[in-house]
Chain A
Amino acid sequence: MIDVNNLNKSFKVYKRKNGAFGAVRSMLRPDFEYIQALDDVSFSIGKGEIVGYIGPNGAGKSTTVKVLSGILVPDSGTVTVGGLVPWKDRKTHVANIGVVFGQKSQLWWDVPVHDSFELLGDIYRLPQDKYQKNVSMLTELLDLSDLMPVPVRQLSLGQRVRCEIAASLLHEPGILFLDEPTIGLDAVSKLAVRKFIREINKEKGVTVILTTHDTGDIEALAERILLIGKGRILYDGKFGDLKKRFRGSRTLKVHFSNTPCGIPMTGGILNSRVMENVAEIEFNPDVITASDLISYISGLFQITDLEINTMVAEEIIAGLYREYKI
């Protein structure tokens, strides 16, 4: 569906020393340098995939999305999306994609939401029945019925993002680009947005490319992730594999009804510490599974409570960033 080969894109960035002297100097001889936003990027994405595109700020995520959506023209490299070159066949190409830029708005600020939708319907040349069908479906799935007559400027951020997502799907695109869709949303809105993305991916087979800093998004949505740093693709694979790689040891915290004298060692237990009636047991999940360990301990002592901590997505990503020094 999407094929990207050896993509390069650089930007000219103007530099100016601070202070009046710097300002004068930059007028006479502007200083600039080229920043390689995308450096030999290649990947391909199949139909119906959800791909999480992650990387620190300034890594090149948004640039990639903008090239894929036909807005930016790369310096070199080839891109085909559904057989089309985005920046060459822009009009045909964009008719089949939906884009949400989390920090920008595609709805017209002063007019009610349904007016914006109608205009988009005309822009995408949707027949009336198809338009009605899609609007009612999206209204129901995203719970928009109360928001439709409200001018966009009076919507809260969460409400607006839901409308933005609906707007990007009115024309039934095969590919959806989401550039930080959950930025600034509260927990409830985030969950609603994630649930919706999963649904349209499953039911309509929409391919989703999601850039985000929210590891919760990745955990909930993306099976596959692409990690980009300083313009290069550093990792392309399953998120689950990554979890395993960074997991190493895990810790089981056990509360007992009375104070045990110590935890007898067994295969897989790396370390244990007892404080009053709580024990922290570090174990290697490849040797002993958590459930085996729990049944082993519950055979020895009376357990009142258990906590097991997994490495959270946040730490995995941070570990990844550290590993690649980005």
Chain B
Amino acid sequence: MKAYLSFFRIRFLNNLQYKVAAWAGMATQFVWGGMYILLYSAIYSFSSSPKPMELDQLTTYVWLQQAFLALIMLWYRDSGLFDLILSGDVAYELVRPVNLYPMWYARLLSQRLAGVLLRFAPIIIVSILLPFPYGLSAPASLPSFMLFLGTLLNGTLLTVAYSMLISISMFRTLSAVGSLTLFGILSEFLAGMVIPLPLMPESLQKILMVLPFWLTGDFPFRIYTGHIPVQEALGGIMLQFLWTAVLITAGVLWLRSIKKKIVLQGG
């Protein structure tokens, strides 16, 4: 366990070095967040049909999405890990007396946590200062807020388990980066990152809420805004645990079967 923690720590400190990337990312997220909010407020002001989400709930949702993007983005790939596989340097990972899966899991998790630590505060602060209903509103209640933190963390563990599957698939599909990107974009949509789940047609929502994707970001953000009341969150939390367990098990088994027929690239 100490090995994995130590590995986590070194990656985490290492990732905190990338401050320029963080500033650039933050700028992008402000622009995206602003764009979404302008778009939704325009739509809301012209539509008279009943809204599935209040405008201030929606803007809060969008800002949380932008602030915690590093934790929830599904298309994200660790290029270092990909290089490791492509160049055959993964050989060194295999001559260590540790298990590959938890080591890589620690690596991916540290990257996301470092990424969010560098970015979230400025976005939160600026979005709080924006006038109502364009800014980040306070959480629905204290329990909502606590539950939001818990489910966001759970969601991150789920996201990393998902990213692990993408990384492991790299062993099999060395150059299929294009199709992986396409898959990433599709899962973003399924997670409600393009259009929040409540704004989707009801029938589609029913399907998506069985899949794991929405549990990463959509679920905790809606708990924060009170769109999902605290007392109705239990099912989602159980689903989070269930899907995380399923994805981790799948990843461990897949990696085990791949290790048996591994081919190292580049001599």
User: In the complex, which of the residues A11, A92, A104, A111 contacts B88, with contact meaning CB atoms closer than 8 Å?
Assistant: A104
A95 touches B97 (CB 8 A): yes
* Min distance, Cβ A180 to any Cβ of chain B, angstroms: 10
Residue of A nearest to B6 (CB): A122
Q: Which A residues between 59 and 76 are near B, CB-CB below 8 angstroms?
A: 62, 66, 69-73
Let me know if A325 is at the binding interface, CB within 8 A. no
Q: CA of A115 to CA of B261 in the docked complex: distance in angstroms?
A: 33
| Contacting pair B260 A118 (CB below 8 A) | no
CB distance from A124 to the nearest CB of B (A): 6
Are A104 and B92 also in contact (CB < 8 A) when A11-B263, A71-B262 are? yes
Chain B residues, CB < 8 A from A5: none
Given A11-B263, A104-B89, A105-B89; A71-B6 close (CB under 8 Å)? no
Residues of B within 8 A of A115 (CB): 10
Q: Which of A11, A71, A104, A111 contacts B10 (CB 8 A)?
A: A111
A153 to B17, CA, bound (A): 15
5 nearest A-B pairs in the assembled complex, by CB-CB distance: A122-B6, A95-B97, A106-B92, A123-B3, A71-B94
The 8 Å CB contact of A108, one of B14, B98, B99, is: B14
**A125:B91 contact, CB within 8 angstroms:** no
- The answer to whether B7 has its CB under 8 Å from any CB of chain A is yes
Which residues of chain A have C-beta atoms less than 8 A from B7's C-beta?
119, 122-123
Is B39 among interface residues, defined by CB-CB distance under 8 A?
no
A99 within 8 A of B: yes
In angstroms, Cα B99 to Cα A92, docked, is 11
A-B contact count (CB 8 A): 73
21 CB contacts below 8 A, A to B, read A66-B91, A69-B95, A70-B95, A72-B262, A73-B260, A73-B261, A73-B262, A94-B96, A101-B92, A104-B88, A104-B91, A105-B92, A110-B14, A110-B17, A111-B13, A118-B6, A119-B6, A119-B7, A123-B6, A123-B96, A123-B97
Size bin of chain B's contact surface: 20 to 34
Cβ A124 vs Cβ B97 within 8 A: yes
Residues of chain A with a CB closer than 8 A to B17's CB: 110
Minimum distance in angstroms from B201 CB to a CB of chain A: 39
A277 at the B interface (CB under 8 A): no
**Given A101-B92, A104-B92, A71–B97 Cβ distance below 8 Å?**
no
Query: Which chain B positions have C-beta within 8 A of A125?
Result: 2-3, 97
Cα–Cα, bound, A103→B266 (Å): 9
- A106 partner residues in chain B, CB cutoff 8 A: 92
A254 at the interface (CB under 8 A from B): no
Q: Are A99 and B264 in contact (CB under 8 A)?
A: no
Is B28's beta carbon under 8 Å from chain A?
no
Q: Report A122-137 residues with CB < 8 Å from chain B CB.
A: 122-125
Rounded to whole Å, the gap between the CB of A168 and the closest CB of chain B is 9
Q: Would you call A70 and B94 a contact (CB within 8 A)? A: yes
